[in-house]
Homo-oligomer: A and B are copies of this chain.
Amino acid sequence: MRDVCVIGLGLIGGSLLRAASAAGREAWGASASPVDAAGFDVSTDVEAALRRAAEQDALVVLAVPLPAVRDVLRQVGSCAPNCLVTDVTSVKSPVLAAARSAVPDARFVGGHPMAGTAESGWAAGNEALFRGAAWVTCVEDDTDLGAWAEVARLALDVGAHVVPLTAAAHDEAVARISHLPHLFAEVLATIGAQGGPVALALAAGSFTDGTRVAGTRPELVRAMTEGNRDALLPVLDEALGRLGAMRGSLASTGGLAATIKSGHEGAQALAHWRAQTASGIRLDLTAPDARAGLRAVGDRGGRITAITEDVAIGEVL
């Protein structure tokens, strides 16, 4: 099992350091600001941690916030230019572009564990954070599948399942199912608060559910939404188009049937999706069309659940 060097020791990085250690790997970490991580091998010397990664041929995991990724990639380029590198940030295309320019010799594979809580920081982390979570692991046309398999094995080792997607497919999907929901929650919270004490006193289930993620730290929401601007803008326009048509219909005929029917069908689609039975699949990672095969699994909403030798084992719905 390859050693793991985690740069950035917040909620995700801190949980990954714990989980990789618990899985029996040699793992160390560094972050610019000190953390109280008794029992773990951590420091504030990022460059020393990266030089050790180069010596031990470790997998380097970038777990810093998106705005800091470019600077850390530059440090990787100077201290560990030939290492395997992955990241855990919530937007994949901008990180891929930055990695291609900063560390051309590194074998970079983008990643995104779909796990998190409203809390943050080392103290909020725990080794079980990734159990049962989807971990998107990017497959581009030029992805080294050996490197991809190393990143996927780490995700599997810490209890996640792996979803192979291109960076672009990931970013489009999370704009729909994470970034837009966050922005809707922010607007709902503002409009509720504008209603003053009466609105706050009457707020119940639909408002509490609809605004829950507005409690997330603003800098985290900014990093993910602003960082995914290219994929988010068309989704936001789709939402504005639907809301505008709805507003027009309410003002003219008074009817909201089309909006509500469509939304209810969407909710049922999700429920049906989750109730489906999966079929098993096996993919030879040395086959010439292995990249296309992996991406087809992700595109159908499937997952990889194990990797043995050169075979990826998973399921599709």
A residues near B (Cβ < 8 Å) are 114, 116, 133-134, 136, 163, 165, 169-170, 172-174, 176-178, 180-207, 209-218, 221-222, 225-226, 229, 232-233, 235-240, 242-244, 246-247, 250-251, 254-257, 259-271, 273, 298-303, 317
Contact = CB atoms under 8 A, between A and B. Distances in A.
A299 B218 CA distance: 30
Contact of A238 (B181, B194, B203, B299): B194
A204 B263 contact: no
Given A184-B188, A218-B261, A163 B202 contact: yes
B247 A186 contact: no
A270 B188 contact: no
Number of copies: 2
B191 A206 contact: no
A237 B247 contact: yes
A51 to B, nearest CB: 35
Contact of A256 (B215, B225, B242, B298): B225
Given A182-B206, A270-B189, A198 B298 contact: yes
A95 B164 CA distance: 54
Nearest to A219: B260
Given A176-B191, A243-B243, A181 B206 contact: yes
Contacts of A136: 202
A173 to B, nearest CB: 4
A114 B204 contact: yes
Contact of A239 (B174, B193, B236, B243): B243
A215 B173 contact: no
Given A186-B262, A187-B242, A222-B257, A176 B194 contact: yes
Nearest to A117: B205
A317 B206 contact: no
